[in-house]
Structure 1
Amino acid sequence: MSEDPAARRPLWITVVLLGLSVALIAVFLLLGNWQIRRLAWKQDLITAVDERAFGDPADLPAQFDPERHAYLRVSVDGDFLDVAPILVKAVTEIGPGYWVMSPMKVEAGILWVNRGYVPPDLKDPGQWAAPATPVEGLLRPDAPGGTVMERNRPDADRWVSRDTQAMSAARGLDGALPYFLDADPLTGPGDWPRGGMTVISFRNSHLAYALTWYAMAALFAAALVYVIRTGLKGTG
Structure 2
Amino acid sequence: MRRILFPLIFGVAGLAILVSLGIWQLQRLAWKESILADIESRIAAQPVALPEAVSQDEDKYLPVTISGEMETGEIHVLVSVKQVGAGYRIIQPFSVDDRRILVDRGFVPTTAKSDARQTGAMQVTGNLHWPDEIDGFTPEPDVDGNIWFARDVPNLSAVLKTEPVLLVARSNTDPDVTPLPVDTAGIPNDHLQYAITWFGLALVWAAMTGYFLWRSRASSESDQQ
TM-score (normalizing by structure 2): 0.76
Counterpart contact for 1:145–1:152, Cα < 8 Å: no
- Which amino acid is the alignment partner of residue 224 of structure 1? T
Among 118, 134, 138, the alignment partner of 2:108 is 118
Higher RCO structure (Cα 8 Å, ≥6 apart): 2
Structure 1 spans left out of the alignment, 5+ residues = 1-6
How far off is 1:71 after superposition? 3.5
CA distance in 2, matches of 1:78, 1:158: 27
Q: Which residue in the other structure is 2:42 paired with?
A: 52
How far apart, CA to CA, are the structure 1 residues paired with 2:36 and 2:55?
22
Equivalent residue in structure 2 for 1:176, among 154, 158, 164: 164
Is the 8 Å Cα contact of residues 86 and 100 (structure 1) preserved in structure 2? yes
Map of 2:150 onto structure 1: 161
Q: Which residue does the alignment assign to 2:76?
A: 87
CA 1:199–1:21: 2 relative to 1, 3 Å: same
Between the aligned partners of 1:80 and 1:169, the Cα distance in structure 2 is 17
Say whether residues 1:192 and 2:192 are aligned partners.
no
Q: Aligned in 2, Cα 1:35/1:113: closer, same or farther, shift over 3 Å?
A: same
Q: Does 1:152 align with 2:141?
A: yes
1:230 Cα offset (Å): 4.7
The corresponding residue for 1:64 is: 56
Check 1:22–1:69 CA distance in 2 against 1; reply closer, same or farther (3 A cut): farther
* Contact in 2 for aligned 1:100/1:117 (Cα 8 Å): yes
Distance in 2 (CA, whole Å) between partners of 1:144 and 1:215 is: 33
Structure 1 residues 208 and 157, CA gap change in structure 2 (3 angstroms): closer
The percent of aligned pairs where both chains have the same amino acid is 28
Aligned length: 217
Give how far 1:232 is off: 4.3
- Match of 2:17, as an amino acid? V
Letter of the aligned partner of 2:198 in structure 1?
A: W
CA contact (8 A) 1:144 1:164 kept: no
The correspondence for 1:137, drawn from 117, 122, 126, is 126
The residue type equivalent to 1:121 in the other structure is T
Unaligned runs of 5+ residues in structure 2 are none
Instruction: Indicate how the Cα distance of structure 1 residues 49 and 143 shifts in structure 2: closer, same or farther if over 3 A, else same.
Output: closer
Residue deviations 1:121-152 (CA, integer Å, cap 9, x gap): 222242x2236532101222144757735332
- The answer to which of 206-215 and 195-204 deviates more is 195-204
Change (3 A) 1:194 1:228: closer
CA contact (8 A) 1:116 1:185 kept: no
Given the alignment of the two structures, is residue 227 of structure 1 paired with residue 224 of structure 2, yes or no?
no
Counterpart residue identity of residue 223, structure 1:
M
Displacement of 1:203 in angstroms is 4.7
> 1:49–1:70: 8 Å Cα contact kept in structure 2?
no
